[in-house]
Amino acid sequence: MVAKLFRSASFLSLTLAAPVIAATALPASAAAQSETRAISDLGDGLYRWTAGNYHSFFLVHDEGIVTGDPLSKEAARWLRGELRTRFPGKPITHVLYSHNHPDHAYGGEELDDGATQFVAHELAAQAWVLTKAQVRMPDITFADSFTLALPGGDHVELQYWGTNNGRGSVSMLMPEHGTLHVVDWITLGRLPYLDLKGYDVVGAIASIRAVLDDVEFSRFIGGHADMGGPEDVRRSLAYLETLHEGVLDGIIAGQSLEEIQGSLDLSEFSDLKMFDEWHDDNIAGVYRQLVDNEYLQMRPEVSTPE
Ligand SMILES: [Zn+2]
């Protein structure tokens, strides 16, 4: 029975539907009370961990543990306790920030073991200083890419692709695990959140295309929603491209936001989670960005709707 359970667990992680091996709630606030906390074993020392609608990862190496975003003070404190129990004697050697947004980056101090090195893109660090964010500031910043070589042979390669969502957003590739981790600018199996706050849609499309061209991976871990593979990332890109082009063409044709919402057909993506709830908000978000950021209505050939 035990052997059978183990076999089915490893099969599940191979098919990317990772088994949840722990779900303990130790809430510190009312908001955290109903939050699901879980750790999924992906094999070979790599884990995804979850707090509510948020995901991060950790990677166990010969001399300690590397984690991704802390997610929140409460979530990070919970994770620290789990790591102490599961991996006694293994310190957290590094915390790798994905981008500047506080709902992913706060709580890092709970993961600080004294010698822990915190790493972030320089634009994330700059934003935290300029906005007086209460983030455990990084010890290491970088401009383009940063490779962390771990005792035991694993690597984590952080790469900046330009603006896409938030400031200083990077991808994290673990080549020995065939795994890519991206937070917020690639979301699998679900529509982008509401009206795309924090996004730069044009930049996100460019970044995702570049990732698909340049990065070899078989498994994708997002900061929200589903895990998947390159095909799922392509589908997520296809949605953003279709959404963006539909809104763009509507604006160029002189349509109002309401007219575009009424006519743009995105139904080929209706299987994605939150499609019914969010697709009108997604259209509004792209419309706003094209008008405000790309100055579409300042173009002489584009007429402003009546
Ligand atoms: Zn997010």
pLDDT, residue 35, reads 85
Q: Which residue has the tokens 């992913």?
A: 104
Please identify, among 137, 163, 184, the residue that sits at the C-terminal boundary of a domain.
184
**141-169 mean pLDDT:** 98
73 and 125 housed in the same domain? yes
203 and 165 housed in the same domain? no
**Burial class of residue 72, CB neighbours in 10 A (0-12, 13-18, 19+):** buried
Q: From the CB of residue 224, how many other CB atoms can be counted at a distance below 10 Å?
A: 18
Q: How far does the centroid of ligand 1 lie from the alpha carbon of residue 15, in Å?
A: 25
pLDDT, residue 30, reads 52
140 and 82 housed in the same domain? yes
46 and 93 housed in the same domain? yes
135 and 220 housed in the same domain? no
Q: Which residue has the tokens 């709970």?
A: 110
Q: Provide the CA 60 distance to its chain's centre, in angstroms.
A: 20
Q: How far does the centroid of ligand 1 lie from the alpha carbon of residue 150, in Å?
A: 27
Please identify, among 184, 214, 237, the residue that sits at the C-terminal boundary of a domain.
184
136, part of any domain: yes
Q: How far does the centroid of ligand 1 lie from the alpha carbon of residue 103, in Å?
A: 7
Q: How far does the centroid of ligand 1 lie from the alpha carbon of residue 49, in Å?
A: 14
CATH number at residue 159: 3.60.15.10
Q: How far does the centroid of ligand 1 lie from the alpha carbon of residue 52, in Å?
A: 11
pLDDT tens, 231-260? 999 999 999 999 999 999 999 999 999 999
Residue 106 DSSP symbol: T
Q: How far does the centroid of ligand 1 lie from the alpha carbon of residue 165, in Å?
A: 9
113 and 213 housed in the same domain? no
1, part of any domain: no
Q: How far does the centroid of ligand 1 lie from the alpha carbon of residue 301, in Å?
A: 36
Q: Which residues constitute the domain of residue 203?
A: 185-306
205 and 161 housed in the same domain? no
Q: From the CB of residue 32, how many other CB atoms can be counted at a distance below 10 Å?
A: 18
CA distances from 267 to 45, 47, 243 (A): 40, 34, 11
Pairing mode, if any, of strands 219-222 and 179-182? parallel
- Total number of domains constituting the chain: 2
Sign of CA dihedral 189, 191, 197, 202: positive
Q: How far does the centroid of ligand 1 lie from the alpha carbon of residue 292, in Å?
A: 22
Reduced to 3 states (helix: H, G, I; strand: E, B; else coil), residue 117 is: strand
Please identify, among 158, 184, 210, the residue that sits at the C-terminal boundary of a domain.
184
Q: How far does the centroid of ligand 1 lie from the alpha carbon of residue 53, in Å?
A: 9
72, part of any domain: yes
16 and 104 housed in the same domain? yes
Q: How far does the centroid of ligand 1 lie from the alpha carbon of residue 298, in Å?
A: 32
77, part of any domain: yes
Cα–Cα distance measured from residue 227 to residue 55, given in angstroms and rounded to the nearest whole number? 10
pLDDT tens, 187-226? 999 999 999 999 999 999 999 999 999 999 999 999 999 9
274, part of any domain: yes
Q: Using alpha carbons only, how large is the chain's radius of gyration in Å?
A: 20
Pairing mode, if any, of strands 54-61 and 64-67? antiparallel
90 and 223 housed in the same domain? no
**80-101 mean pLDDT:** 98
Query: For 181, how many CA atoms within 13 A lie in the half-sphere containing its CB?
Result: 26
3, part of any domain: no
Q: How far does the centroid of ligand 1 lie from the alpha carbon of residue 6, in Å?
A: 33
189 and 106 housed in the same domain? no
| Predicted confidence band of residue 303 (pLDDT cuts 50, 70, 90) | confident
* 3-state class percentages of the chain: helix first, strand second, coil last, to nearest 5: 40, 25, 40
DSSP per residue, 121-175: EHHHHHHHHHTT------SEEESSEEEEEPTTS-EEEEEE-SSSBSSS-EEEEEG
Q: Residue 5 pLDDT > 70, yes or no?
A: no
Q: How far does the centroid of ligand 1 lie from the alpha carbon of residue 133, in Å?
A: 17
165, part of any domain: yes
Cα–Cα distance measured from residue 157 to residue 161, given in angstroms and rounded to the nearest whole number? 13
Q: How far does the centroid of ligand 1 lie from the alpha carbon of residue 152, in Å?
A: 31
Q: How far does the centroid of ligand 1 lie from the alpha carbon of residue 184, in Å?
A: 5
Q: How far does the centroid of ligand 1 lie from the alpha carbon of residue 96, in Å?
A: 15
242, part of any domain: yes
pLDDT, residue 233, reads 98
Query: For 107, how many CA atoms within 13 A lie in the half-sphere containing its CB?
Result: 22
pLDDT tens, 25-78? 444 555 555 689 999 999 999 999 999 999 999 999 999 999 999 999 999 999
Q: Residue 167 pLDDT > 80, yes or no?
A: yes
201 and 172 housed in the same domain? no
pLDDT, residue 304, reads 81
Q: How far does the centroid of ligand 1 lie from the alpha carbon of residue 238, in Å?
A: 20
Count of residues making up the chain: 306
152 and 212 housed in the same domain? no
